[in-house]
Amino acid sequence: MRLLSFERGGAVRIGTRLDEKIVDLYMASVSYFADLGEVNPDAKACEHLPPCMKEFLQRGDQGLQLARTVLDFLKGQLKTSGTVIGPSGERIIYHESEVKLKPPVPDPNKIICLGLNYRDHAREAGAELPANPIIFSKFATALIGPGDPIVYPKAVRQLDYEIELAFIIGRRGRHIPEEKAYGYIAGYTIFNDVSARDIQFADGQWTRAKSFDTFAPMGPYLVTRDEVPDPHDLAMQLRVNGKVMQDSNTSNMAFKIPYILSFLSQAFTLEPGDVVATGTPAGVGIFRDPPALLRAGDVVELEIEGLGRLRNPVLAGQ
C-alpha cells in the first residue's frame, strides 16, 4: 500500500493513491463505519484510523489491515455508484492538484541517519568502511515534502545532495534482535540528505550542516513493507536538471537494514514514525572532479525502484 500525508484547507490527513487520485483514508473510514451502522462513525474512525500518520502507525498491523479494508470498501462503492462521499457529504477523493503532499510522516520524533554506509561512496570519499555504523541525526524542522523548495541559505557555500533509502519504524521497541527487525518496520520512502559541505567539514561533525531548514526532503509515499520484498535490491537514481548524478543500487549497502535497526535499538527506543535514512551511494557533488554542487534554480529528482519519485527545486535564501 502507498500511504501518504496531504494537506487541504489547513488540515493534514493520511491518504493513499487510487489510480491517479488521492484518497482521504480517514474520511473514507468514517464513511465505512457509517455504512456499518456505527452511531458515531467519526469517533470510531479517530480511534482506529486516525488522520495523523504517526498515530496511525501506532495502530500497527491492525491499522494497516483496516486501511486496506476501507480502500476495498471505497472501490466497491465506486464500482456500484460511480461516486463516494462522506456521511454528511464530505469529499473523500481528490485530484493531486487539489491537495498539498507532505512528508509521509510530517512529525517524526527522530530522524536518524547513517554515514559512509555504501561501499562506492566510501571509495569516492577516500574513506575506509567503518567497523560500526556511523550515526547522526537531522532535526524534524528540516523536513519538507514533494515539490517544496530546498532553500539555499546565504551562510552556505557548498550545497550538496544525497539520495537515500529510508525505513519508517512501525512498532515501538528496544533491544531488537536482527531476526525480528523487519517486524518493526512499517515501510520505506525516499530521503534526500541535503548537506552544507563547507559547514560539515569546518564543524568536524555533521548535525548543523545537515539540519538547516528544508535540508530533509522526504516522500512521496510510505510504501508498506509487504510491497518491498527485498529492500537490498532496489535501483536508485538522483538527477539534477535531468542529468544523472547518482546511479546505484541498495545492494551496495555495507550494513544491512536488520543490523542497522538492531544496532540502533541497543542504544535507544525506536518509536512509530521514526525515520532511519540508510546512507548514500557514490556520485555526490563534492567528490566529483570538478565538484558539481547545487545552485539556486536547480531541480533535484530522486527515484528509487518501487517507491516513486521525489522532486524539489532549489531556491535562493532571502
What pLDDT, on the 0 to 100 scale, is given for residue 126? 84
- pLDDT-flagged residues of the chain (< 50): none
Distance CA 287, CA 282 (A): 9
Residue 40 half-sphere exposure toward CB, CA atoms < 13 A: 5
The torsion defined by the Cα of 59, 63, 64 and 70, in degrees rounded to 10, comes to: -160
Please list the residue range(s) of the chain that carry CATH number 2.30.30.230. Answer: 2-101
Stated length of the chain: 318
Tell me which fold the domain 105-316 belongs to.
Fumarylacetoacetate hydrolase; domain 2 (3.90.850)
Q: What is the DSSP string of 1-17?
A: -EEEEEEETTEEEEEEE
What pLDDT, on the 0 to 100 scale, is given for residue 270? 98
Tell me which fold the domain 2-101 belongs to.
SH3 type barrels. (2.30.30)
Please list the residue range(s) of the chain that carry CATH number 3.90.850.10. Answer: 105-316
